[in-house]
Structure 1
Amino acid sequence: MSMTDTTTAAAQVVSVKPVVLPAPDRGEDLRVRVSAPATGRNLPVVVLSHGFGWSMDGYGPLADHWTAHGFVVAQPTHLDSRTLALPPDDPRTPLIWRWRVADLTHVLDRLDAVEAAVPGLAGRLDRDRIAVAGHSWGGQTASMLLGARVLDDAGRPGEDLSDRRVSAGVLLATPGSGGADLTPFAAEHFPFMNPDFARMTPPALVVAGDQDRSALSVRGPDWFADPYRLSPGGKSLLTLFGAEHSLGGIVGHGAAETTDESPARVALVQRLTTAYLRSALDPGDPAWPAACAALAAEPGPLGRIETS
């Protein structure tokens, strides 16, 4: 369905938290923040996975913008959130990456409950247009629903956790390949950081900062472009000039993690991710090619776009 069925200019939004989704096998019920436009029908859905330690309360600059431009945004709080204070010796810790993926799937499984939790949202979701998004560790989490896998010690791809309900993704500052590209500390403590992007076939926008140098990798900022370069075609890469891991401040205004604060850069990420999601979920929507052309025409642009 066309995005003309939803509002494309900034609109009033309704946000509800926590939406509690029972999850008895998880040890903690899944708490989710759900935000939706106050009006409009046939609304596409974005499930947004936070970075390490964050929660459903983070990423307001993105979640609020997407919602105001026609998307329903669901933000689960993963078990690594500082708000849960999971002890390091908790038996769930070794597979917490796997619980993260399950959280996103659980949101999709319980869309009826998500819809019912927001006053006036019933019957307004378009369940044929679903995207996942994530920042940092959340980017790896989101990539798994798009078909990325974790390689085992022998280099064999692990379990396929992809979800056919997901049509597209936005991967922000997402870690790249593992193995020799990891520091010894990362290789020892984070064995799940060994992704295989070869089966990540749905369209996705990868966003990377050209000054994002991770303490987990022996490589430089190009490491964060791996989800684009090591996956099948049909992807786009937005490289942000001067951006570090927070990409100007997408995690939250004034957040301590923001070492490269730039309202202009955040505004660019807002504008381009919104355009990408519109076109990726509705191929007839010209928002993405128009946004690419506009960026290329800007004097002194804040980034560049590549496509595969």
Structure 2
Amino acid sequence: MPSPAPVVSVHPLTLPAPGRGDDLRVRVSAPVTGNDLPVVVFSHGFSQSATAYEPLAAFWAAHGFVVVQPTHLDSAELGVPADDPRTPLIWRFRIEDLERCLDGLERLEASVPGLAGRVDRSRIAVAGHSWGAQTASTLLGARVLDADGVPGEDMSDPRVKAGVLLAVTGTGGTDLSPFAAEHFPFMSPDFEKLTTPALVVAGDKDDSPLSVRGPDWFTDAFRLSPGATDLLTLFGAEHSLGGIVGLGHKENTDESPERVALIQRLTCAYLRHALGLADAAWPVPVESTLGVLESK
């Protein structure tokens, strides 16, 4: 892993988004040095924004990535009401947001001082946490089942070469709690076509009210897809996985700088490996008291 570099972060940048109701706000972080920089487009969890997940965005950027973070319509910053006509389709708007970031990479690159000409657009990954992980998974090949259990359209993107799925929601149907089945019918992924290489990160204490299954629900993408070949299970971790939204954040229930440091190091190593960087090393050691790394 390269030595960390100083980082420049620009926010908000905007991308035109006809039909969305609001132009897309984006944050871009990048190292001030280096060339041929790979890209990570990151999808935040419910109600968060482009300025969250600083522990990941700053670390990845300092270690050689351009990190692109859109603010989705469900962000608390935007205040879209529950009765807004866009609300039932926010899950689709989220996917379109990631696509807009990919389509707008040249514009974003030109908007960050000193970044133009230093980005390798042939090496692109997507990542996300919670709902953001499900959003990111569709670009890797996962599909959404309809009410009859039929897979929806293929929304994978050939520009995306790898993914990191943090606390990604599992299968739907009878695995959902009654509340989730009523309010989140789109939370019914089919992982059979997720063929793009991906790392799944799950907490063994992440007992979500959205599922009746327990923490193993968050490992479905690894168990059921051909592309997600690696799984990091964190011991004692709940849904915030130690505090990846930001240490000291009000939503942290299991704050652990040690867990966050492990996720930083391991996800960075995985992304460098999956994107084919010459100096990448994978797998990497995991301290036995923090978690276990499985590969298939």
Question: What TM bracket, shorter-length normalisation?
Answer: over 0.9
Measured against aligned partners, the alpha-carbon deviations of 1:201-252 in whole angstroms (never above 9, x if no partner) come to: 0100000000000000001100000010010155100000000000000001
| Residue matched to 1:113 | 107
Q: Which secondary structure state, in structure 2, belongs to the residue aligned with residue 119 of structure 1?
A: coil
Task: Provide the secondary structure at the position in 2 that maps to 1:18.
Answer: strand
User: How far off its partner does 1:93 sit?
Assistant: 0.5
Q: Is the 8 A contact 2:198 2:227 kept in 1?
A: no
Partner of 2:248: 254
Aligned with 2:123 (options 126, 129, 145): 129
Task: Tell me, yes or no, if structure 1 residue 65 matches structure 2 residue 53.
Answer: no
Shift of 1:153: 1.1
How far, CA to CA, are the matches of 1:234 and 1:258 in structure 2? 26
What's the RMSD between the two structures over aligned residues? 1.1
CA distance in 2, matches of 1:122, 1:25: 29
Contact 2:222–2:228 (Cα < 8 Å) also in 1: no
Q: What's the counterpart of residue 32 of structure 1?
A: 26
Q: 1:203 aligns with which of 188, 197, 201?
A: 197
Gapped runs of 5+ residues in structure 2? none
Tell me which residue corresponds to 1:241: 235
Alignment of 1:1-308 (within 5 A): 8-233=2-227, 235-282=229-276, 284-289=278-283, 291=284, 294-295=285-286, 298=287, 300-308=288-296
Structure 1 pair 278–192 and aligned structure 2 pair: CA distance change class (3 A) = same
Structure 2 CA distance for aligned equivalents of residues 222 and 108 of structure 1: 32
Aligned counterparts of 2:227 and 2:82: Cα–Cα separation in 1: 39
User: 1:89 Cα deviation (Å)?
Assistant: 1.0
How far apart in 2 are the matches of 1:143 and 1:233?
10
Q: Deviations over 1:261-303 (max 9, x none)?
A: 00000000000000000000016444222x1xx22xx4x4311
In 2: Cα distance, 1:47 partner to 1:92 partner = 23
Q: Tell me how far apart the structure 2 counterparts of residues 24 and 234 of structure 1 sit (CA, whole Å).
A: 33
Partner of 1:3: none
Matched residues in 1 for 2:207 and 2:197: separation?
Answer: 26
Give distance in 1, aligned partners of 2:18 and 2:281.
41
Q: Which has the higher helix share?
A: 1
Q: What is the CA–CA distance in structure 1 between the aligned matches of 2:225 and 2:96, rounded to whole Å?
A: 22
Identical amino acids, percent of aligned pairs:
70
Q: How many residues align?
A: 296
Would the aligned equivalents of 2:46 and 2:132 in 1 still touch at CA under 8 Å?
yes
Long gaps (5+) in structure 1? 1-6
Amino acid at match of 1:44: P
Q: Post-superposition shift, 1:65?
A: 0.3
Native 8 Å contact 2:194 2:227 kept in 1 = no
Cα distance in 1, alignment partners of residues 280 and 92 from structure 2: 36
**TM-score normalised to the size of structure 2?**
0.98
Cα deviation code 1:106-143 (max 9, x no counterpart) = 00001111101100100111011000000000000000
Distance of 1:253 and 1:233 partners within structure 2: 31
Tell me the alpha carbon deviations over residues 139-175 of structure 1, each in whole angstroms, 9 at most, x when there is no partner.
0000000000000111110011110000000000010
- Contact 2:199–2:228 (CA under 8 A) maintained in structure 1: no
Distance 1:234 1:50, change over 3 A: closer
Question: Separation in 2 of the partners of 1:98 and 1:8?
Answer: 36
Dislocated runs of 4+, deviation >6 Å: none
